[in-house]
Structure 1
Amino acid sequence: MPIESSPNIPSPGVAGLRQVGTIDARTVRLTAGAKDQASVGSAPDAAATAAATFQPSQALDPGQAPVDTDRVQVIRRAIETGNYPLIPAKIADAMIAAGLLLRTPA
Structure 2
Amino acid sequence: MPPIEVGSAPRIGAVDARLPRVSEASVAGPVAKVQTSNPVSAAPAVETTQALDPGAAPIDTDRVALIRKAVESGTYPVVPAKIADAMIAAGMLLRSAH
TM-score interval for Structure 1 and Structure 2 normalised by the shorter chain: 0.5 to 0.7
Q: Is the helix fraction higher in 1 or 2?
A: 1
Deviation track 1:48-78 (CA, whole Å, cap 9, x = no partner) reads 4x75x82541344332223332221211111
Distance in 1 between residues matched to 2:66 and 2:52, nearest whole Å = 32
Superimposed CA distance per residue, residues 23-72 of structure 1 (whole angstroms, 9 cap, x where no aligned partner) = xxxxx844xx22xx1x2x328x4224x75x82541344332223332221
Match of 2:56 among 52, 58, 64: 64
From 34, 45, 52, the equivalent of 1:54 is 45
**AA partner of residue 70 (structure 1):** D
One-letter amino acid matched to 2:36: S
Please identify the structure whose Cα radius of gyration is greater: 1
Residues matched between the structures, number: 70
Gaps of 5+ in 2: 1-27
Q: Give, as a single letter, the amino acid of the residue that structure 1 aligns with 2:55.
A: G
For 1:54, the aligned partner's letter is A
CA RMSD of aligned residues (A): 2.8
Q: Structure 1: which 5+ residue stretches go unaligned?
A: 1-27
